[in-house]
Structure 1
Amino acid sequence: MKVRSVKFSFLAVIGLSIGFGIVIGGFINAPRAALTALPALPALQPVVNLAPAVTANSGIRDFADVVANSMDSVVSVTSRDNRNENKDGGEPQNPEDLFRFFFGNPRDEPRTPQRPRIGEGTGFIISDDGYILTNYHVVQDADQVKIGFRDGTEEIARVVGTDPSIDLALLKVEIDGLTPLPLGDSEALRVGEWVIAIGYPLEFEQTVTVGILSAKNRRVPLPTLDRNGLVTFLQTDAAINFGNSGGPLLDIDGNVVGINTAIARQNLAEGIGFALPINQARRVINQLRDFGEVKRGYIGINMNILGIDRDAQDYLGLPDRRGVIIDSVAPDSPAERAGLKPFDVIREVDGDLIADNDELIAKISSYMPGEKIDLEVFRKGRTLHMQATLGERLLLNGVQPAVGTESPEPAKPLESEGLGITVQALERDLRERLRLSSSLRGVMITDVEFDSLAAEKGVLPLSIVTHFNDRAIESVEAWDDAIGRLRSGQAVKIDIFFPGPNGNTRTFFLRAP
């Protein structure tokens, strides 16, 4: 199986020369992005009266009507960073800089003073008194932000608040009587429905493109995003380009369903664009307006990233595949204080069913720090009810096991295979090279069969098996004994530690052949 590398690019444009920048750069990491329009909101509350849905009898209305009613609400966003010193490690932006990049400064000439970095993107109006949404990366580090309206007028905007974890920014211009775009429901949007993108790509005036919603719940590894999976994206084939960042993605009724954010580039392939679902933005608008930042609840667990498949369901004795398996609990966290333990399955929060990891993340993050939540938990065949008082979520919260360099007595150099996994004893030199804590016990995985269930689920070499069906594995002999006791078709639970600066333990549910 070939693993292909796909690059994800923000849609912002930086420049002194846009064309030159694209040819040289390929990846342009700039603070300019298209702004997405939201509806006029009393006290910034989302518009409830959406345009009527299109039915089979009414037919699909002309795209031109939707565009004509929306274009005045879509604006250009130009940001200026006077502190630019190529601090992002970005590409040279003009021919002189390019020459020096490769050959140095000839004859010790004085260096050309750094020009301010200019970013351009798109945005959209969400209230009649001048609030505008765009991407965070469009205005990141900006000293000045200028809004351009369709009639040619320009206004200086104030950055009211930002939420880097979902790449969102709220701006304000001091103008009344503006026309906002209505806010749609991205959760109700179905794959295959028509969508319309409006923006200011590549320094052109307003541009409209049309496509369909290609997929939902896509994970996109962008630089500013929270890596704990706080946000997923809509995928569309509507043509979007650099400069579209922050612009609205509309449904066929003219409601904003997403904020255009990124594109995937692989061998110049096109047709893969990503938009922040508007429902995720809608949840935080008022916090951005009132506090300038977003605070989210934090419970303090690491979830099993594979979710509940048939193997996990059978092993844990679950009635169905709904819920979230806890891999580990952070010390002194809200989860630990509430009594949660590894391998508990969270099934409900405040009476709402939790289908999977994404739903739990969204649910917990919708609460403020300090709020209490009621949990329904499945543990070893019993249903338990607990209450947790949430803490404050920070970027990259997680459990980080202690890492040390002390070495225990050398282990026997044995090797064994089972379940498509080959293991060997943890010898002294391996512990030192991997900088493993002296308290860590287990066997190291040296190989994973290509077509095995273990490989399919993400088991990797150079990781450490610590437990097998809740039994500690401290030697190759213990591994052999555990493998020998398996029955054909039996569900298996294996705990594996992944070394590294943020080392963590993950649980895998496999099945004996």
Structure 2
Amino acid sequence: MRKHNLKSFAVMALVSAVTAFICFVAFGRFFNNHPDVYVNTNPVKVHYTSYDSNASGSGGPVNLEDAAGIVIPVTVHINTKVPPKEISSGQGDNNPFGGFFGGNDPFSQLFGGGGRYYSPGKLASGSGVIISSDGYIVTNNHVIDGASKIIVTLYNDKSYAAQIVGIDPNTDLAVLKIDAKNLPYIVFANSNNVQIGQWVLACGYPLNLQTTVTAGIISAKSRNLGVNDEGTNPVDSYLQTDAAVNPGNSGGPLVNTEGKLVGINSAIATPTGSFAGYAYAIPSNIVRKVTNDILKYGTVQRAFLGVYLPNDANNPMNISFTPNDNTIPGFAVIGTVADGAAAKAGIQKGDIITGLGDAQINSEADLLGAIASHRPGDQVPVTFVRDGKPHTVEVTLKNKNNTTGIVKATIMDKLGAGLQNLPEKYAKEMGIKGGVVVTQIGSGLIKSQTDMQSGFIIVRAGDYPVKNVDDLQNALERQGNNVLLQGVYPDQQGMFSYAITDLKAGIVN
């Protein structure tokens, strides 16, 4: 009896092994012949996670219930209405002044040159988080950008009209205000202390659903995505998480297991537009600094270290540098701004920055994120390696004007564009006396009112010729509320004209 059982068992084992082998071979051949089943060779796209109705604590035992109970009441649903808008098309004209006083279009009679068309409006939604008991809310700038009406709905289903207190396209953040009192609010954590592998919760209103909480871990820090094209000097340094985030989650909180804010959910990496494994959040240290600046100064006080970045448009002649020792993690200084913060402190080309304040620096994204959490005038220790030896110096960070004073919003800021003087060499080649090159177009009047492209060279603003950036600023300050920007494209014939309105709305002298 026992022999018979052993024999039967041996036969069954042999049949199972043969069957497994056949399945393994068939499985391999099938997938080798059908790589599309499991391999995606297309580059993964990064998307903002606002929802467009028009668009197809750390280790140890984890208690997520407490964190969920804290974050749900402070997370809000944001619905926006973006109205149709009139766009100045900047049609080429070899004689831009020919129709200045003529034409049937009343706008042409006012400005002259260029054509106009309408961009349709849309309804959209996103999320936000309450940061004070009296109704201040943080969200993404791209959630409310261009909105004429913003409605905030709380967890208890009460809705309020919201006003924009301030925005910062460079970090993709915005502060809103609703008329409400005694609200629950989020507490900020120090995002520099966030560790890879620690548990986090994402909360928001994805896909126009009610409050939704998802869990995951921090899978990376200081991710450089290149997704922010709204700012003229963007900060690209994100926390990466595998907590599920979908369209509509933008602006919502990412919290640790204590329910404290570690980031604002902003983007997802996906080939489809919906969650596919990774999401990205703006670190809470940047969020706290930006919101405090907006509330205290009305505009963000951006600090600069005064070192050139490899892809910076201000990098003279695109200078580059390869450190002698590539094994040292950090940011290799390729050059310093004359009289800038780094140069004043003795930092030189070739130094490898490894720390700023309490942040460890392993990359450009680390450095940008660390600087973005400070203000001009802040004194911070900077650690660097030179000739294999570590050094630490105290650096006084500066503003964009290379001083430590408070910077107020200007009429140039309203344009929302990167602007540089046209080099004299190129001006001579083009047969013009000078001009201002639009190097980048972010969130502002140029983007919202025109279809101007990067590379446009401004040679006239209203009644005044423009040879440099100072000329442009002086011309705009002399103009009324409307101005016609005229200029050329290096690769196109004729003069182009773009009409800008509401130039001085909201500017405080």
- TM over 0.5, yes or no? yes
- Residue by residue over 1:303-353, the C-alpha shift from the partner in whole angstroms, topping out at 9 and shown as x without a partner, is 468xxxxx966x37x9x8365432133456555666655334556768998
1:140 to 141, 145, 162: 145
Q: How many residues align?
A: 341
1:60 to 54, 59, 62: 62
Give the 3-state SS of the residue equivalent to 2:226 in structure 1: coil
Give the 3-state SS of the residue equivalent to 1:146 in structure 2: strand
Identity within the alignment, %: 29
Q: Give the Cα separation in 2 of the matches to 1:122 and 1:138.
A: 8
Aligned 8 A contact 1:301 1:398 in 2: no
Q: Give the Cα separation in 1 of the matches to 2:209 and 2:241.
A: 21
- Cα deviation for residue 366 of structure 1 reads 4.3
Residue correspondence of structure 1 range 23-422 to structure 2 within 5 A: 23=56, 56=60, 59-61=61-63, 63-84=64-85, 116-224=121-229, 230-266=235-271, 270-303=276-309, 315=324, 321=328, 324-330=331-337, 333=340, 341-345=348-352, 356-369=363-376, 390-393=397-400, 404=425
Tell me: CA distance 1:195–1:333, structure 2 relative to 1, closer, same or farther (3 Å). closer
- Cα deviation for residue 285 of structure 1 reads 2.1
- Residue by residue over 1:65-84, the C-alpha shift from the partner in whole angstroms, topping out at 9 and shown as x without a partner, is 43233322111112222344
- Cα deviation for residue 133 of structure 1 reads 0.8
Give the 3-state SS of the residue equivalent to 2:46 in structure 1: strand
- Residue by residue over 1:86-105, the C-alpha shift from the partner in whole angstroms, topping out at 9 and shown as x without a partner, is 899xxxxxxxxxxxxxxxxx
Q: Give the Cα separation in 2 of the matches to 1:199 and 1:235.
A: 17
- Residue by residue over 1:416-473, the C-alpha shift from the partner in whole angstroms, topping out at 9 and shown as x without a partner, is xxxxxxxxxxxxxxxx9xxxxxxxxxxxxxxxxxxxxxxxxxxxxxxxxxxxxxxxxx
Q: Give the Cα separation in 1 of the matches to 2:331 and 2:296.
A: 33
Give the 3-state SS of the residue equivalent to 2:143 in structure 1: helix
Flag structure 2 segments of 5+ consecutive residues without an equivalent: 1-39, 90-116, 312-320, 402-415, 430-489, 492-509
Flag structure 1 segments of 5+ consecutive residues without an equivalent: 24-52, 89-111, 306-310, 407-431, 433-499, 502-513
Q: Give the Cα separation in 2 of the matches to 1:131 and 1:218.
A: 28
Give the 3-state SS of the residue equivalent to 1:174 in structure 2: coil
- Cα deviation for residue 169 of structure 1 reads 0.9
Q: Give the Cα separation in 2 of the matches to 1:6 and 1:150.
A: 34
- Cα deviation for residue 211 of structure 1 reads 2.2
Tell me: CA distance 1:277–1:368, structure 2 relative to 1, closer, same or farther (3 Å). closer
TM-score (norm 2): 0.56
Q: Give the Cα separation in 1 of the matches to 2:421 and 2:384.
A: 24
- Cα deviation for residue 219 of structure 1 reads 1.2
Aligned 8 A contact 2:84 2:118 in 1: no
TM-score (norm 1): 0.55
Give the 3-state SS of the residue equivalent to 2:268 in structure 1: strand
Tell me: CA distance 1:187–1:331, structure 2 relative to 1, closer, same or farther (3 Å). closer
1:12 to 46, 50, 55: 50
Q: Give the Cα separation in 2 of the matches to 1:233 and 1:363.
A: 11
Structure showing greater radius of gyration is 2
Q: Give the Cα separation in 2 of the matches to 1:199 and 1:267.
A: 20
Tell me: CA distance 1:347–1:181, structure 2 relative to 1, closer, same or farther (3 Å). closer
Tell me: CA distance 1:86–1:10, structure 2 relative to 1, closer, same or farther (3 Å). farther
Q: Give the Cα separation in 2 of the matches to 1:240 and 1:352.
A: 27
Q: How big is the alpha-carbon RMSD for the aligned residues of Structure 1 and Structure 2?
A: 4.3
Tell me: CA distance 1:161–1:351, structure 2 relative to 1, closer, same or farther (3 Å). closer
**1:30 matched to which residue of 2?**
none
- Residue by residue over 1:174-196, the C-alpha shift from the partner in whole angstroms, topping out at 9 and shown as x without a partner, is 21110112222333232222222
Q: Give the Cα separation in 1 of the matches to 2:162 and 2:154.
A: 12
